[in-house]
């Protein structure tokens, strides 16, 4: 059974930083693509970042240059380092695992088959 557990969310002021973690069990992150998404109240879930099995990364334009996705294969954990946070980054953040090594449509929620429960990130102005 595949399980994903996010942690690291919280309340931070504008310009601050947070690092989210996603611990994965039941699937090896080194052989599967992984993604981070977020959902603000009243909005659709949107793509944030993705990392392929080979380590290639992709980012939404809104977070490029501020967020970094990475992974620790030994811990089977994926991270999202978030710097220079803005109030518009406020959302519940979800990690997800893709059944494939790489997906050309990494930005689509339909490409991912297992999701974590989410962790709240709130950025105050």
List pLDDT tens digits, range 93-105. Answer: 999 999 888 778 9
Query: What integer pLDDT is reported at residue 115 of this predicted model?
Result: 98
Looking at residue 100, its pLDDT comes to 86
**Buried residues in 29-68 as b, exposed as e (16+ CB within 10 A):** beebbbbbbbeeeeeebebbbbbbbeeeebbbeebeeebb
Q: Which of 80, 82, 81, 88 is nearest to 124 (CA)?
A: 88
Coil vs helix vs strand at 86: coil
Q: Percentage of the chain surpassing pLDDT 90?
A: 94
Using alpha carbons, select from 21, 4, 28, 45 the residue that is nearest to residue 99.
28
Mean pLDDT of 85-96: 98
The pair of structure tokens assigned to 12 is 């931070």
């Amino acid at each position: 059974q595949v399980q994903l557990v996010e942690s690291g969310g919280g309340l931070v002021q504008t310009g601050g930083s947070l690092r989210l973690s996603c611990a994965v069990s039941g699937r090896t992150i080194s052989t599967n693509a992984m993604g981070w998404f977020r959902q603000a109240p009243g909005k659709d879930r949107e793509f944030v970042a993705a990392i392929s099995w080979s380590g290639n990364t992709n980012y939404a334009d809104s977070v490029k240059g501020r967020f970094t996705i990475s992974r620790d294969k030994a811990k089977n954990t994926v991270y999202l380092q978030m710097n220079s946070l803005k109030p518009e980054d406020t959302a519940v953040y979800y990690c997800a695992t893709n059944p494939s090594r790489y997906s050309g449509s990494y930005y689509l929620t339909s490409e991912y088959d297992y999701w974590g429960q989410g962790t709240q990130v709130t950025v105050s102005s």
